[in-house]
Amino acid sequence: MTPDTGPGTGTGTTDRDDSPDTSRRGTVETRRHGGIAVIALRRTAKLNALSAHLESALLDAVRSKEVTTSRAVVVTGGPRVFSAGADTTELREMTTESIAAYYRASGSVYETFAALPQPTVAAISGYCLGGGLELALAADIRVADPTASFGLPEVGIGILPSSGGVTRLVRAVGPARTRDLVLRCRRMDAAEAYAWGLVGEVTDPGAPCLERALEIAAEMAAHPPLALSVAKQVITAATDAPRESALLLEQLGYAALNAASHR
Residue 38 or residue 91, greater confidence = 38
Query: Which pLDDT score is estimated for 243?
Result: 95
* Annotation marks residue 154 as catalytic: yes
DSSP secondary structure letter of residue 204: P
Distance CA(260)–CA(231), nearest Å, equals 14
Question: What is the residue-averaged pLDDT of the chain?
Answer: 90
**pLDDT at 86 exceeding the cut of 90:** no
Q: Say if residues 84 and 48 touch (Cβ distance below 8 Å).
A: yes
* Residue 248, CA atoms < 13 Å, CB-side half-sphere: 5
Query: Which pLDDT score is estimated for 12?
Result: 63
Query: Which pLDDT score is estimated for 9?
Result: 45
CA distances from 234 to 64, 237, 246 (A): 25, 5, 8
- Name the active-site residue from 29, 55, 66, 154: 154
Query: Which pLDDT score is estimated for 15?
Result: 47
pLDDT (average), residues 80-107: 84
pLDDT digits (tens, 9 = 90+) for 116-163: 999 999 999 999 999 999 999 999 999 999 999 999 999 998 989 989
pLDDT band at 14 (very low <50, low <70, confident <90, very high): low
- Name the active-site residue from 55, 134, 201, 211: 134
* Annotation marks residue 250 as catalytic: no
Query: Which pLDDT score is estimated for 22?
Result: 56
